């Protein structure tokens, strides 16, 4: 069973918007830290945003703060990443991931790739100037 399924990637012009979705299994969603990472060509994977599904403050990387918003829909067990004011440097493969059994404080402090057990297949975002 796939724990995480991303959708919503695509192409946009600079200044435009896209919304990514991450549908999670029950096991992956409840009371866990869900995060979005991204990896561009030749770059390391970067934690972009994270949210604890049990409630609390989200985390945003400085590179996306004020432009991206992470949110959740408990009924759908889905986490979203609304990306506004897109820039060409946002071009990356975006991945949804879950860190099990780590609490609210961890999630608000910023996601660390080794701490995430399940990963989605990724969705490509391309922003043209």
Q: Tokens 């004011």 appear where?
A: 85
The predicted pLDDT at position 31 comes to: 86
Contact 72, 78 (CB under 8 A): yes
The conformational region for residue 26 under phi > 0 = left, psi -120 to 50 = alpha, else beta, is alpha
pLDDT tens-place string over residues 46-79: 999 999 999 989 999 999 999 999 999 999 999 9
The predicted pLDDT at position 58 comes to: 96
Question: CA-CA distances (angstroms) from residue 35 to 12, 39, 90?
Answer: 22, 13, 16
Contact 68, 81 (CB under 8 A): yes
> Which of the 8 DSSP states describes residue 85?
S
The predicted pLDDT at position 119 comes to: 96
């Amino acid at each position: 069973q796939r724990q995480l399924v991303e959708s919503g990637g695509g192409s946009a012009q600079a200044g435009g918007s896209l919304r990514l979705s991450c549908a999670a299994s029950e096991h992956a969603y409840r009371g866990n830290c869900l995060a979005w990472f991204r990896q561009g060509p030749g770059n390391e994977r970067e934690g972009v945003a994270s949210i604890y599904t049990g409630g609390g403050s989200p985390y945003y990387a400085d590179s996306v703060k004020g432009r991206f918003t992470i949110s959740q829909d408990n009924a759908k067990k889905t986490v979203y990443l609304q990306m506004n004011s897109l820039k060409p440097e946002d071009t990356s493969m975006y991945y949804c991931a879950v860190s099990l059994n780590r609490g609210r404080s961890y999630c608000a402090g910023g996601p660390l790739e080794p701490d995430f057990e399940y990963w989605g297949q990724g969705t490509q975002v391309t922003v043209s100037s």
